[in-house]
A and B are shown apart, each in its own frame.
Chain A
Amino acid sequence: EVQLLESGGGLVQPGGSLRLSCAASGFTFSNYAMSWVRQAPGKGLEWVSTFSSDGYTTFDADSVKGRSIISRDNSKMAVYLQMNSVRGEDTAVYFCARNWEEFDPWGQGTLVTVSS
């Protein structure tokens, strides 16, 4: 069974940094792109970042470009999202998802709250 499990959410002060992790299991991790998608409270879905399966190409949404770094460790079957200079509008549930043509499946999400 394919599973994705996010961790690392919590309360972060404006201007601070966060690092989210996503542990994958049940599939050949290195064969797939991995993505982060977020959802602000009561709002819709927003694609954030993707790390391709080629091992070196990344893509970021304009809303986080220059502030975020997506990385992956195929040996640990994990993908990470580091976000710096966080703002109130970064408050959201952050989901890890496999692929980015279609996002399937998704993890259960981890909540990040940016507040002083």
Chain B
Amino acid sequence: EIVLTQSPATLSLSPGERATLSCRASQSVNRYLAWYQQKPGQAPRLLIYDASNRATGIPARFSGSGSGRDFTLTISSLEPEDFAVYYCQQRFNWPTFGQGTRLEIK
């Protein structure tokens, strides 16, 4: 099983700031990594697939980068609606998810 480790566990920032979330895989997953956003009481929403491709309807302030074992989700300028939990997921092998990063308002 490929283990994904996300950091930090919690990120406290203010609207307008830049957010950088990390995901490290226990082995290379090539570029087969996705990012999701989940708000309380809601289903996850796909943001990024194949490391850097934005899903349909996702604002340009969300971007993904990385390959191999290390990946980053960047939110260039935080909007109030961006405060949520973010998960990474790999599809190189059986799907697994990271434990999540909680992005909270400072």
Residues of A within 8 A of B45 (CB): 105-106
Total interface residues in chain B, CB < 8 Å: 20
Question: What is the size category of the interface that chain A forms with chain B?
Answer: 10 to 19
**Max chain B Cβ within 10 angstroms of own Cβ: one of A59, A95, A101, A107:** A101
If over half of B's interface residues share one DSSP class (helix, strand or loop), that class is named, otherwise mixed; here it is loop
Residues of B within 8 A of A102 (CB): 34, 46, 49, 55, 89, 91
Residue B60 lies at the interface, judged by CB distance under 8 Å to chain A: no
**Max chain B Cβ within 10 angstroms of own Cβ: one of A45, A100, A102:** A102
A104 close to B55 (CB less than 8 A): yes
Contact residues of B between 27 and 68, Cβ < 8 Å to A = 32, 34, 36, 42-46, 49, 55
B44 close to A103 (CB less than 8 A): yes
Known: A100-B91, A103-B89, A105-B43. 17 other contacts (CB 8 A): A44-B100, A45-B97, A47-B94, A47-B95, A95-B43, A101-B49, A102-B34, A102-B49, A102-B55, A102-B89, A103-B34, A104-B46, A105-B46, A106-B45, A107-B43, A108-B42, A108-B43
